Amino acid sequence: MTTAPFPPAKFQSFEEKSDPSQVAPRLASLRKAMKTAGVDYFLVPRADAHRGESVPASEARLAYVTGFTGSAGLALIGLKDAQLFVDSRYTLQAPAQTDTSLVAVHEVASLAVDAKPYVKKGAVVAYDPWLHTPGEVRDLTDKLKGHAKVVAHDNLIDAVWSDRPAPPAGAVEILGHNRAGQKAEDKIAQLQRTLAEDGADAVVFTLPESICWLFNIRGRDVPNTPFVLGFAVVPQKGEAKLFLDPAKVTPELETALEGIAGIEAAKKLTKTLEKLGKNGKTVLVDPASAPIAIAETLTSAGAKLIEKRDPVLLPKSRKNEAELSGMREAHRLDGVALAKFLSWFDSEAPKGELTEIGIVTALEAFRREEESCVDASFDTISGAGPNGAIVHYRVSTKTDRRLNPGELMLVDSGAQYLSGTTDITRTLATGEATAEQRDRYTRVLKGMIAISMARFPKGTSGAQIDVLARQFLWADGITYNHGTGHGVGAYLGVHEGPIGIAPRYPLPLEVGNVISNEPGYYKAGEYGIRIENLVVVKEAEGFPGYLEFETLTLAPIDVRLIDRALLTEAERGWLNAFHAQVLAEIGPKVSGDVKAWLEKATAGI
């Protein structure tokens, strides 16, 4: 087993990713290019053409010009002022990363902001059509109607970004049938039947998760997620086309896709779209994710559009048996690493020498003992004491905090194993908890158990069951300001739509959906609590027409923080059964002090 000192982390950097001192010269360069182009304002989204949660370094334009590195944001750069819009996750991070004397930071509920108050009348507002969807552009145009002119333009940041990194060009990995569970040609045939039902001659894909799932491929183009960045066009009849950087294409990939899809250079996509238009084809595009450049190329060439949700998203969310087998294996592997980590943590935390970075480094080291662990599924949230109350806290060398004995420690982490994707949160005791902390922890746990034990009729959505997780907090006049659960991919994105558990998820839950179950409670400036397992939707045994959840995660829940008087017998029974399963599946895979710790941590209460 790995022992301290641990090797340096490979999956996560703790250095500050931004330098506010660079904002001034970069804004000056951009404004010079704007003046030359006759542009008064330029929109800079965080997104790239593929709308991913992570973007490669070559696409991090928002970070380049403002310094802000969060996963969601929008800048409006004027010739004399600059606005940066972020959501509540980043109200602390954004001002710290940018130069607030030059960039005004605004917290907004939605990035569909009303730009009118920040734009002078008669001004020209430009945007890169590859970075905005038709819906986003329509919304912006409507809000500025009669006030300013909105125009498409080549990306002005690219013109001044002299040291822009090269695009990612790693080789594409082919997913075997034992891991995919369905051949790419069968997935495509099913998709083509859907296109026929929708009256579409073809569909254009831009989302990497859809392309990777459809063609049974994976890659290393972005951090934390095994995505291949590219585009695809699938006709209702005939061979699909996959558009990639030629540097990614190997003979193995060409052989794997022979007779299934033609592979062409990404720069040829526009000609293919124009050909569809010239032939008068009806083409399905997802208005929530496809760049407006694609939609306008099609329509200007004569195509008719069907604006509809990406038709791969729902089938992809319904994991097949091979995918679920892989996810279960990934959670067994993760369970072993977590048992080692939690045992280590319990022995070290009382000494008062652990730091947030040290905790992340140790957890990664235990996971990397398994060779099939190829990445973290996101940057670990390692929040000691008051930092645990920052929902999306990211530790850096600047913010790294020592964990004092007696404080709560929140660790939200995940891994990408070749077999599947994991995501788990545990809140850990380091000494005697207060009565308030035990109360809040137990209410959060009761909500998590309520979701875990839920049985519901087919057709029920995640929006409808979200209240089950909140009810015990609501009863005491408190809540949490994030969703209860998000979809999770099978060796894909750790955050996957279109299903989840929150008011924003109206779609019915279906067999095979893998979802997080993670209620929480956060007391600003003091502590945070979150408990998270992954669950999969399955048929309810003995109840025809009903569904229930199977828990995938295999790591103990800290019982030292429970106010046992608040648990019902049913809740206690669920927790004991869960811990018995953890011991049965993980116990034989560990030994010595770790096994002794695991037996104690999973003992019945």
Do 146 and 178 have their domain in common? no
CATH of the domain at 219: 3.40.350.10
Question: How far apart are alpha carbons 574 and 452 in whole angstroms?
Answer: 9
Do 351 and 465 have their domain in common? yes
Residue 598: what pLDDT?
Answer: 98
Q: Which residues pair with 275 in a beta bridge?
A: none
Instruction: Give the pTM.
Output: 0.95
> In this structure, what DSSP letter does residue 147 have?
T
User: For residue 139, what are the CA distances in angstroms to 76, 285, 288, 298?
Assistant: 15, 18, 12, 20
Q: Is residue 8 part of a domain?
A: no
Mean pLDDT of 218-233: 96
Instruction: Give tens-digit pLDDT for 298-323.
Output: 999 999 999 999 999 999 999 999 99
Closest Cα partner for 64 from 158, 169, 168? Answer: 158
Dig out the tokens for 526 from the structure. Answer: 């003091």
Do 184 and 280 have their domain in common? yes
Total residues found in the chain within this entry: 605
Domain encompassing residue 587? 318-602
Is residue 505 over pLDDT 90?
yes
Do 355 and 441 have their domain in common? yes
Do 323 and 433 have their domain in common? yes
Do 187 and 210 have their domain in common? yes
User: For residue 333, what are the CA distances in angstroms to 180, 267, 359, 395, 555?
Assistant: 19, 41, 19, 25, 11
Do 294 and 400 have their domain in common? no
Residue 3: what pLDDT?
Answer: 53
Q: Is residue 165 part of a domain?
A: no
Give Dmax over CA atoms of the chain in angstroms.
73
Residue 392: what pLDDT?
Answer: 86
Q: Is residue 159 part of a domain?
A: no
Is residue 1 over pLDDT 70?
no
> In this structure, what DSSP letter does residue 393 have?
-
> In this structure, what DSSP letter does residue 23 have?
H
Q: For residue 171, what pLDDT band results from cuts at 50, 70 and 90?
A: confident
CATH of the domain at 458: 3.90.230.10
Locate the DSSP E strands across 236-354.
240-244, 261-265, 282-285, 304-307
Question: How far apart are alpha carbons 338 and 332 in whole angstroms?
Answer: 10
Domain-ending residue, one of 282, 316, 350:
316
Is residue 458 over pLDDT 70?
yes
Residue 17: what pLDDT?
Answer: 77
Q: Is residue 161 part of a domain?
A: no
Do 213 and 336 have their domain in common? no
Tally of structural domains, the chain: 3
Q: What percent of the chain is modeled with pLDDT above 90?
A: 95
Instruction: Give tens-digit pLDDT for 42-68.
Output: 999 999 999 988 899 999 999 999 999
Domain-ending residue, one of 254, 281, 316:
316
Instruction: Give tens-digit pLDDT for 241-281.
Output: 999 999 999 999 999 999 999 999 999 999 999 999 999 99
Q: Is residue 296 part of a domain?
A: yes
Domain-ending residue, one of 152, 181, 212:
152
Q: Tokens 């069907």 identify what position? A: 306
Is residue 399 over pLDDT 70?
yes
**What is the chain's mean pLDDT, rounded?**
96
Do 467 and 483 have their domain in common? yes
Q: Is residue 302 part of a domain?
A: yes
Q: For residue 2, what pLDDT band results from cuts at 50, 70 and 90?
A: low
SS3 242: strand
Range with the poorest average pLDDT among 87-96, 368-377, 477-486: 87-96
Q: Is residue 103 part of a domain?
A: yes
Q: Is residue 119 part of a domain?
A: yes
Exposed/middle/buried for residue 278 (C-beta within 10 Å: 0-12, 13-18, 19+): exposed
User: For residue 288, what are the CA distances in angstroms to 143, 154, 383, 498, 520?
Assistant: 18, 21, 33, 12, 29
Do 196 and 218 have their domain in common? yes
Residue 4: what pLDDT?
Answer: 62
Do 271 and 404 have their domain in common? no
Question: How far apart are alpha carbons 343 and 340 in whole angstroms?
Answer: 5
> Where does 98-238 have alpha helices with state H?
134-143, 156-160, 177-180, 184-198, 208-215
Do 568 and 439 have their domain in common? yes
Is residue 99 over pLDDT 80?
yes
Instruction: Give tens-digit pLDDT for 108-142.
Output: 988 899 999 999 999 999 999 999 999 999 999 99
